[in-house]
Structure 1
């Protein structure tokens, strides 16, 4: 089925041609977007929108959990943190609590920023632009 909207076409092409690192970055950014929308929904007392956006954020976190390579030692720590964030989002949804969402948002932002820096460093290394003494 052809995509008639040029923006949708661009988005689809971005996902189809992105590296694994870029896809992970997209997941973090998407999660932050949905957390922001959930916070706004709470402020506007829009329960269905809050619920939908928290669930979208949880789905992204679950996807991040599934993609962890558990052979790498740090993955155990990441799994625990992702699990914590997922449980906190459940609590935020039940309690209609912006502060819990803000806590998760802060964690996701740290993950995203660290991941973005890792991508930049990896690209510099691949292209021989690493800091040589």
Structure 2
């Protein structure tokens, strides 16, 4: 059964998040869906595996769409996102949890780097404490 208070909190968090925080949420969501897909594989629940891999792919695709081509790093990120998206397809077709682990490793690295970048940006904006 859904918790209305928690859902309200989640919606509020999304609605008030900065673009940087939303990107962090996307990375975390992608990791969650990869984990659920792997669990589906282990339990031979192929519908859950497929659904969660597709959700992870949609997040990767959203990250691809939101890359700003004016920044050099975007040109470096696009092929990596494309690779992860193709590997998720491979994992789905081949039922290979090792491929999911590989993609989760990339997403974790991106998430951790992004988190550090947000921390640095906050420190530069608000001073050493990093809080408003």
TM value normalised by structure 2: 0.94
1:52-63 aligned within 5 A:
52-63=51-62
Query: What CA distance in whole angstroms lies between the structure 2 residues aligned with 1:33 and 1:124?
Result: 28
Q: CA deviation at 1:74?
A: 1.0
Query: What CA distance in whole angstroms lies between the structure 1 residues aligned with 2:128 and 2:42?
Result: 46
Q: CA deviation at 1:98?
A: 0.1
Query: What CA distance in whole angstroms lies between the structure 2 residues aligned with 1:59 and 1:25?
Result: 15
TM value normalised by structure 1: 0.93
Equivalent residue for 1:98?
Answer: 97
Question: What RMSD over aligned residues (CA atoms) do the two structures have, in Å?
Answer: 1.4
Task: Confirm or deny that 1:124 pairs with 2:123.
Answer: yes
Equivalent residue for 2:41?
Answer: 42
Q: Which runs of 5+ in 1 are unaligned?
A: none
Query: What CA distance in whole angstroms lies between the structure 2 residues aligned with 1:121 and 1:71?
Result: 21
Task: Confirm or deny that 1:33 pairs with 2:48.
Answer: no
Equivalent residue for 1:65?
Answer: 64
Query: What CA distance in whole angstroms lies between the structure 1 residues aligned with 2:80 and 2:17?
Result: 26
Query: What CA distance in whole angstroms lies between the structure 1 residues aligned with 2:54 and 2:120?
Result: 32
Task: Confirm or deny that 1:115 pairs with 2:118.
Answer: no
Q: CA deviation at 1:109?
A: 0.1
Q: Deviations over 1:103-129 (max 9, x none)?
A: 000000000000000000000000122
Equivalent residue for 2:76?
Answer: 77
Query: What CA distance in whole angstroms lies between the structure 2 residues aligned with 1:125 and 1:73?
Result: 22
Query: What CA distance in whole angstroms lies between the structure 2 residues aligned with 1:35 and 1:128?
Result: 36
Query: What CA distance in whole angstroms lies between the structure 2 residues aligned with 1:50 and 1:128?
Result: 44
Equivalent residue for 2:85?
Answer: 86
Q: Which runs of 4+ in 1 moved over 3 A?
A: none
